Amino acid sequence: MELSEQQLQCKQDAASFTDQYIVPYAGLHDREERLHPEVIDSLKSSGYLGSMIPREYGGMGLDPISVGVLNEEIGRGCSSVRSLLTVHGMVAIAIQKFGSEEMRSYWLPRLASGEITGAFGLSEPGVGSDAKSIETVAESNGEGYLLNGKKKWITMGQLADLFLIFAQVKGKPTAFLVERNNPGLKIQPINGMLGVKGSMLAELHLEQVYVESDRMVGSPGTGISMVALHCLDYGRYTVAWGCVGLGQACLEASLSYAGSRCQFGALLQENQLIQKMLTEIIVDVRAARLLCYQSGYLKEVMDPDSIMETWTAKYYAADMVNKVAHRAVQIHGAKGCSAEYPVERFYRDARVNEIIEGTTQMHEMVIASYAASTHESVQEEAVLL
């Protein structure tokens, strides 16, 4: 598969941007557990925060593959910065797809410019993969809604200005826009995570948080079945590409180290066992990238199979990057266990990617169940014929 000239230019621009503005700060993000303000400012000025937003609302209006290669390059530089693009985009596409024209006209230009940043509020202390069982509630008071509950593991929760919060309206999961300055919203930072440490996680406490009726995204009952699933599809897609970028970073670090480190009178890259590991890294990264291309292409032509292809791409890419990061650390030996070398961070970041946007086990259940149901349909059609 070949990129168009526009897509190739997007990849080259994103690569240069990453090398200049993100890579130098990646280690700092990990140590300080926050994104550096200069990096956030550079994202705003570059327009990348609006990469997924249509041009008519001030965004870049990138096609799915261009969005993918952008997330690959930024993921190569820093998984925490890529996570900002993911959750910010999830809020934007929810408003674009399910919001009113007034909502789109007001919020999307502000999200595109970076005037405000968004975060996705679905997970709770007692609810993860079983999203339909959220316990946060929204009760109508005649004019609007009062939200009560807790959200946990909210990426960029410490930073975001606008949250897409999911709550039960008379037992029907529903999505709402909640601003950071809403009275009753308390934000508690979460620190000490294993990896992607600069993603500024937070726990949100909502106590009688009032939102007007026009802050509802979609309609009552569509929160999970439509809004969340649409957002999570975008999230899985960008995480899959981010895994490819992280795998590429592991490859580049491993090639550099193996090409400069001498043992027993020869460079590591001349050792056949090291060559085997490098080969496995190269092939695995390329295979994951092709799955992401396939998913992006199907999104571009609006093929409904793109949803399952995205599940497949994220499943493989997340598994791949853990194997690749393991090999990268092994190639570095003891230095791979030291924070002086980036592969130590890559290894921890890779582990997180196998959990976010659906664990590996959830992917296995969905992919296998879909394959089984498709097979049964084919068999039934054959009998009818």
* Catalytic sites, residue numbers: 357
Residue 348 tokens read as: 């921890």
**Whole-number Å distance between alpha carbons of 287 and 293:** 10
Contacts of 48 (CB under 8 A, 6+ apart): 14, 17, 60, 70, 74, 85
